[in-house]
Amino acid sequence: MSDELVHYAVADDVATITLDSPHNRNALSGQLVRELGERLEQAESDPAAKVVLVRAEGTVFCSGADLSEASAAGSEDAPRGIVRLQRLMVGSTKPVVLRLQGAVRAGGIGLVAAADVVVANEDATFALTEVKLGLAPAVISLTVLPRLTSRAAAYTFLTGETFTGTEAERMGLVTRAVPAAELDAEVARVCASLATGAVQGLRETKALLAHDLLERIDRLGDDVAAQSARLFGSAEAREAMTAFLSRKK
């Protein structure tokens, strides 16, 4: 489909899922979230895939929520969609690798945290910018908080400051940060290494690794989705999002 925003391909035991929504810098629009969920389910059931690789086209991996949609919405559908994406990634029976080539903001960091292995460009930039818009990183806290140290979480959540791939590695958010020229080679090496695992071994080991995180998602998912919907629907956040979108025009 020429209008699809998320592509799927499989080769050499690796299912590659690619975000390709240049018009909004791979923002988490309703269409992209829906298609990403469908591709994750496709990879889960694909017998040709032992490993799942999530990547993105362009210089931005994901710019977070699509504010042009979020500013006009007030239901829990969008935050529930992000909760579901995180659960699909964490709950996959196959290792999920994420290739992070560039900037990732706000909600997109939830995808980073939900992956099993993250290889990032050391110069990639991260920012949890929700606090600037009268919001909170509610739904992505499900996966982000267990990855970060408590001090790193407090600082990045409360300040909204930008940090690099190298810093993200120290915080525990990414597995390995490498120079941009080495990114593809390192991603290929990691995927090939994971693919040497036996299917049963990968499945059972993933279940061990995911147990606590899945329990957290299932226990708190409804509450954080409701919190996110409440904040996005608030007058303060709507005013801030409208002002932000006006500055971008």
Calpha distance 55→122 (Å, rounded): 16
What confidence tens digit (pLDDT) does each residue in 185-202 have?
999 999 999 999 999 999
pLDDT computed for residue 249 by the predictor: 61
Could you tell me the domains of the chain?
6-180 (3.90.226.10)
pLDDT computed for residue 5 by the predictor: 98
Structure tokens at 68: 């042009």
pLDDT computed for residue 163 by the predictor: 98
pLDDT computed for residue 244 by the predictor: 87
Calpha distance 172→156 (Å, rounded): 13
pLDDT computed for residue 74 by the predictor: 60
Burial of 118 by CB count in 10 Å (0-12 exposed, 13-18 middle, 19+ buried)?
Answer: buried
DSSP3 helix / strand / coil % (the chain, rounded to 5): 55, 20, 25
pLDDT computed for residue 247 by the predictor: 82
Calpha distance 135→131 (Å, rounded): 5
Of the candidates 39, 43, 29, 30, the one whose C-alpha atom is nearest the C-alpha of residue 6 is 39
- The letter for the amino acid at 175 is T
pLDDT computed for residue 70 by the predictor: 76
Q: What is the pTM of this model?
A: 0.95
Mean pLDDT of the chain: 95
User: Which residue numbers in the chain have pLDDT < 70?
Assistant: 1-2, 71-74, 249
Structure tokens at 76: 């829990």
Report the percentage of the chain scoring pLDDT > 70.
97
